Amino acid sequence: MEIGEFQKLIREIYLARDARRGADRTFLWLLEEVGELTRAYRRSDHQEVGQEMADVIAWLASVANLLNIDLESALLKKYPRKCPLCSSVPCTCPFR
Amino acid sequence: MEIGEFQKLIREIYLARDARRGADRTFLWLLEEVGELTRAYRRSDHQEVGQEMADVIAWLASVANLLNIDLESALLKKYPRKCPLCSSVPCTCPFR
């Protein structure tokens, strides 16, 4: 599935609800999901980690929808098929 | 770009580095990016928010690569083109 298609799906399912809730409280939900992901990771529950990663990306998409941010464009702009810092594949940066 | 293609791109750029760093410290980087995203959101810097969302998804992909989690499969399993709780589009859940 294309990244933009997933964002559109989340818009269709949740935009009306996200808009009623507002961006600030939607962002708080995103952070709650990051907490749940962290707990699943700490517990080494890999199936749960996958589910929580899905939730984090879904809530990122909800916030992006409210701010009119195109996630796919943002990803391709930041990671144009190479490391954005050293421009190499694989990355040869002395850090990260 | 397909979600799986983006995860593969991050694997090609960063897997060797991510593996040397290890999963725990890679997860800490992910949380650092979530902090940067939160700061950009609080400052209402929408261009920066888009860039930080890209970083959060990239670091999610790095952690997923280390744990052999397929992000696209996890997303489609959790959000099979409808709300996972009420099975409707749009969502009609009494909460969220």
State residue A81's pLDDT score.
Answer: 86
Q: Which residues neighbour A10 within 8 Å (Cβ) at sequence distance 6 or greater? A: A58, A61, A62, A65, B79
The model's pLDDT over B21-48, given as tens digits with 9 standing for 90+, comes to 999 999 999 999 999 999 999 999 999 9
Alpha helices in A1-96 (DSSP H): 3-21, 23-42, 46-66, 71-78
State residue B81's pLDDT score.
Answer: 86
Token pair of A84, please?
């954005």
Token pair of A43, please?
């517990």
Provide long-range contacts, Cβ within 8 A and 24+ apart, for A88-91.
A88/B13, A89/B12, A89/B13, A90/B12, A90/B13, A90/B14, A90/B15, A90/B16, A90/B17, A91/B13, A91/B14, A91/B17
Contacting residues of A for B14, CB less than 8 Å apart:
83, 90-91, 96
Low-confidence ranges of chain A (pLDDT < 70): 96
How far is Cα B30 from Cα A78, in angstroms, rounded to an integer?
Answer: 16
Does ipTM exceed 0.90?
A: yes
More confident residue, A83 or B57: B57
Q: How far is CA A72 from CA A43, A62, A78, B32, in A?
A: 31, 14, 10, 21
Report whether pLDDT(B96) > 70: no
How far is Cα A89 from Cα B13, in angstroms, rounded to an integer?
Answer: 5
State residue B59's pLDDT score.
Answer: 98
State residue B82's pLDDT score.
Answer: 87
Share of chain B above pLDDT 70, in %: 99
Phi and psi at A2, nearest 5°, equal: -65, 150
How far is Cα A41 from Cα A51, in angstroms, rounded to an integer?
Answer: 11
| Mean pLDDT, rounded, of chain B | 95
Contacting residues of B for A69, CB less than 8 Å apart:
46, 49-50, 53
Q: Does B49 sit within 8 Å of A69, measured CB to CB?
A: yes
State residue A96's pLDDT score.
Answer: 63
Alpha helices in B22-70 (DSSP H): 23-42, 46-66
Provide long-range contacts, Cβ within 8 A and 24+ apart, for A36-40.
A38/B27, A38/B31
Of A15, A54, A81, the CB nearest to B74: A54
Report whether pLDDT(B19) > 90: yes
Contacting residues of B for A34, CB less than 8 Å apart:
31, 34
